[in-house]
Amino acid sequence: MIKTDLDQRKTALILVGLGAFLIPFMGSSLSIALPLIGDDLTGNVILLGWLPMVFTLANAAFLLPFGKLADIHGRKKIFAYGVVIYTVASLLAALSPSITFLILSNFFQGLGCSMIFATGVALLSSVYPPQHRGEALGFFVTAIFIGLFLGPLLGGFLAQSLGWRSIFFFNVPLGIFLFSLIIWKLRGEWYGSKDAKFDHLGSAIYIPSLVALFYGFTAMGDTLGQVIFTAGVLGFVTFIFHETRTEYPILNIKLLTRRVSALPAVGLLFINVATTALWPLLSLYLQDILNFGPLWAALIISAQPLMVSLLSPVTGRLSDRMDGRILMVLGAVAITIGLLALSYLDIETELWWIVMGLVLVGVGMAFFAPVTTNFFMGSISRENYGMASATQSTMIYAGQTFSLGLLILIFTGFMGGVQITSANFSVFLLSLKIAFTLLAVFSGIGLVLSLFMKRPAP
């Protein structure tokens, strides 16, 4: 560990903030470009569906192993390797001659992203003292939601004006800038447990199990998906059993089962389950029911990430100066009310009601996410910051995956495989109501959990 000054903190914040921006930007802009990619590379709908899938699965599956490697070999080093892999993979993706090559490049993009996300919060927690950590994490959350906000807008503009390859080219100069900043500005290194050994067997069990768990849940509508999900559950149980008995686990179960650590982590999981499906639900509603175009739909939905981006630095700073539980409870209440408001959407709902629901969810996320992350990181010892950062990111990805899987299950159960038309608007709106009500229930669980969280001792 090295002593950090103000310049080091600012450099780390810029690095981690840009890294946090790139990942959601890439994910959300890629979805916009899928039709253009299919036309150019003659990819069928199944292959196109694998593009965002491999990006997300690679990102999620490798977080925990890289988090532990960062504690052993250095957080800056793993972050830098992630930037290099992500940048090279982006260049290869932009030059892809086929859809198969693009899928492979997308996998390595996700791999690089996992190294960046596994170490980002750990780096900030290493260079910022506890009394300023909340403010830094507030900016981190802001960067994520700016990426979500700009992804559909800037990504759509680039794809329409310069072609889909420009989205990948856009990442290259940013990646080069990030790497240059690491080399020239971020001095020293931050370790957790240099003498620890890496758990190769645990990683070998964990990675395929998590992939099977996440992918299987999104495909629960068919028998193969159920088999894959069951295999993932069995594999994950085996992983937990192994981690409780190995000397150097990649996931310290005993550390994470303490109330002060477990409640913030599980709270993040439930709040992400509650909020992730909101985007595709409202996108379908705005375009198919209210006849808005894709750009207008994206602009309306962007009210939610915009509120998070604007308010997260403020709430993060407040959490350094007051009892953060008040902010978390208020945030969870706002999210729950916003989701319940959106459960009343029908064919005649006015736009202000939709925007109000989005604003409430956005304000709630701004109050909940930075403070909960601050509580969680504060509950973990410095030598385990890499593992903690990776665990926090894994909880977010798990919440996002299960939220989208829940959405698929609801639509499969009520609508089957049919398209949304005027003939089945009533069934779609019923599915929408049930989905938003269930999401509000998950948010309510997050609210209950926040009542029992407490600020970790300094």
pLDDT at 51: 80
Q: Once rounded to an integer, what is the mean pLDDT over residues 5-31?
A: 83
Residue 375 CA, distance from chain mean position: 18
Q: Concatenated DSSP letters for 48-88?
A: HHHHHHHHHHHHHHTHHHHHHHHHHH-HHHHHHHHHHHHHH
Residue 381 phi/psi, 5-degree rounding, is -70, 155
pLDDT mean over 20-24: 85
pLDDT score for 3 = 47
- Cα first-last separation, the chain: 18
Average pLDDT of the chain to the nearest whole number: 85
What secondary structure letter does DSSP report for 193? -
- The highest-confidence range among 308-322, 374-388, 435-449, by mean pLDDT, is 435-449
pLDDT greater than 80 at residue 28: no
Looking at residue 1, what is its pLDDT? Answer: 41
For every residue of 253-284, DSSP letters joined together read HHHHTSHHHHHHHHHHHHHHHHHHTHHHHHHH
Q: Are 26 and 149 in contact (CB under 8 A)?
A: no
pLDDT (tens digit per residue) in 332-371: 999 999 999 999 998 889 999 999 999 999 999 999 988 8
Q: Mean pLDDT over residues 100-114, rounded?
A: 92
Q: Is the pLDDT of residue 259 over 80?
A: no
pLDDT band at 6 (very low <50, low <70, confident <90, very high): low
Task: Domains for the chain: give ranges and CATH numbers.
Answer: 1-198 (1.20.1250.20), 259-458 (1.20.1250.20)
Dist. CA 298–CA 108, nearest whole Å:
28
Average pLDDT over residues 271-277: 90
CA atoms within 13 A on the CB side of 217: 18
The average pLDDT across 384-408 equals 81
Distances (CA, A) of 414 to 262, 289, 424, 430: 35, 17, 10, 8
The more confidently predicted of residues 283 and 86 is 86
Instruction: Give the pLDDT of residue 193.
Output: 76
Q: Which residues contact 81 (CB under 8 A, 6 or more apart)?
A: 112, 115
Average the pLDDT over each of 65-79, 114-128, 252-266, 295-309 and give the range with the smallest value: 252-266
Please report which confidence band the pLDDT of residue 415 belongs to, taking 50, 70 and 90 as the band edges. low
Which pLDDT score is estimated for 2? Answer: 45
What are 158-196's pLDDT values in tens digits?
887 888 899 999 999 999 999 999 988 887 788 877 778
Say whether pLDDT at 277 is over 90. no
**pTM, two decimal places:** 0.81
Residue-level pLDDT at 341:
96
Nearest to 316 by CA among 255, 377, 253: 377
**Structural tokens at position 255:** 């550390």
Select the highest-mean-pLDDT range: 2-16, 83-97, 181-195, 321-335.
Answer: 83-97
- CB-based contacts of 181, cutoff 8 Å, min separation 6: 11, 14, 15
Give pLDDT, residue 431. Answer: 86
pLDDT over 90 (residue 30)? no
- Split at pLDDT 50, 70, 90, the class of 5 is low
Q: φ and ψ at 246, to 5 degrees? A: -95, 155
pLDDT tens per residue across span 36-70: 888 888 766 567 767 877 888 888 889 889 988 98
Q: What is the mean pLDDT of the segment spanning 219-224?
A: 80
CB-based burial, 101-128: b 16+ in 10 Å, e otherwise: ebbbbbbbbbbbbbbbbbbbbbbbbbbb
Average pLDDT over residues 372-388: 82
Q: How confident is the model at residue 86 (pLDDT cuts 50, 70, 90)?
A: very high
Task: Taking residues 406-429, report their average pLDDT.
Answer: 72
380 vs 4, residue with greater confidence: 380
